[in-house]
Amino acid sequence: MIIIDSPSHDAYFNIALEEYLLYHYPTEDIFLLYINAPSIIVGKFQNTLAEINLDYVTENNIKVVRRMSGGGAVYHDLGNLNFSFHTLLGQNDFMDFSTFTEPVVKLLNDLNVPAKLEGRNDLLVDGKKFSGNAKLARNGKMIQHGTILFNSDMSVLGDALKINPLKYVDKAIKSNRARVINLIEYFPNEMTTDELKALLIDELLATNEGATIYHLTTEDLNGVAKLIEEKYQTWDWNFGFSPKYNFKNAKKIPAGFIEVHLDVERGGTIEKAKIFGDFFASEPIEVLENKLVGVKHNDKEIAKVLNSVDVTDYFGKVTIDEILELFR
């Protein structure tokens, strides 16, 4: 087994690193550890916009990244330790989550923290969740990865993942907002996330004969950078990959009440747009609706459409920002 302590806190880097290792180290057993700066990691099959508070995420520069595995959305920050096991497919039962959570449970139990695996894939302490785990199988390998809430900012976690459920109707996988807890509460003496990471590395070195620390090479770093550029920092992957959904939003502004309905196809492209309200328009609203068809459902592309017209022709005395907010 090789043990990798990621040199980066960038969520784009660390999620891309998991995929890079999958394809470039196809026969190696790997244990990867990383800590991300504030970010939201969404499951592969989720509708990103229906999982996050987009305004809050944008205002607070929180990165949003889609991972390769299924499951729900999670919030990461510097108080959250993430671990990832890579092993050959077939060596372990795909639905067995206990094998790769056991080192975490053992270490915490040795530190007098009553952690245990409950249900299918969650680690709990005193009935509260501190770790969720997900899996994927690809390229002849299996990856199980999980989070450890150690000293995360819970207020940000709640705000970043808070969304109005009335805005989105889709068949995407929904996140289960379980009761969660920071493990720092169980440590009477101060401990940092980095110190917990070092202890977990020591645990793996001690219990896996032949395990060694591996440092990423320049070739590795360049390969990860290429994946980031082509996939993991792109809107098409992080947002556009979402399944087909219906979106609606309404707002009362000085010009009147406005309600927006969108049918968005897979890939994040608006298939149909309808706008209702008690506003006064000098131009047919159908003209603007047609201009939105074929446009990606994101601020940048919709803003281009709104800037290409005089929005007061369609809504009266409004600003572009007031109208753009209806599409979030």
Tens of pLDDT along 246-258?
888 888 888 888 9
The pLDDT of 296-304, averaged and rounded, is: 93
* pLDDT of 14 higher than 90: yes
Q: What's the confidence (pLDDT) of residue 165? A: 57
CATH number at residue 220: 3.30.930.10
Claim to verify: residue 110 and residue 14 sit in the same structural domain: yes
Number of structural domains (the chain) is 2
Q: What is the pLDDT of residue 34?
A: 97
Three-state DSSP state, 188: coil
Same domain for 182 and 119: yes
Quote the mean pLDDT of the chain: 88
Does residue 205 sit in the same domain as residue 139? yes
The secondary structure of 272-324 as a DSSP string is: EEEEEES---SS-HHHHHHHHTT-BSSHHHHHHHHHTS-THHHHSS--HHHHH
Q: Do 179 and 296 fall within a single domain?
A: no
Domain of residue 42: give its range: 2-238
Residue 172 above 60 pLDDT?
no
pLDDT(193) > 90: yes
The verdict on 165 and 80 lying in the same domain is: yes
Span 90-99, mean pLDDT? 72
195, two tokens: 């110190």
| Claim to verify: residue 232 and residue 250 sit in the same structural domain | no
pLDDT reported for residue 257:
86
**Which of these, 179, 181, 158, lies nearest to 56 by C-alpha position?**
158
Q: What is the CATH number of the domain that holds 279?
A: 3.30.390.50
Domain boundary among 189, 211, 238: 238
Among 238, 260, 293, the domain-final residue is: 238
Question: Quick one: 148 and 266 in the same domain?
Answer: no
- Are both 115 and 251 inside the same structural domain? no
| Cα 233 to Cα 278: distance, rounded to the nearest angstrom | 40
pLDDT at residue 174, rounded to an integer: 52
Same domain for 173 and 273, yes or no, is no
Q: What is the pTM of this model?
A: 0.79
Chain segment 141-155, per-residue pLDDT in tens:
989 899 999 999 988
Q: Two tokens at 309?
A: 């017209």
Query: Of the residues 238, 261, 294, which one is the last residue of a structural domain?
Result: 238
Instruction: Look up residue 10 and give its DSSP letter.
Output: -
What stretches of 18-149 adopt beta strand conformation (E)?
30-34, 39-42, 63-66, 74-76, 80-88, 115-118, 122-125, 128-138, 141-149
- Looking at the fold, whether 251 and 212 belong to one and the same domain comes out as no
Residue 126 three-state SS: coil
Residues 234 and 249 in one domain: no
Judge if 61 and 200 occupy the same domain. Answer: yes
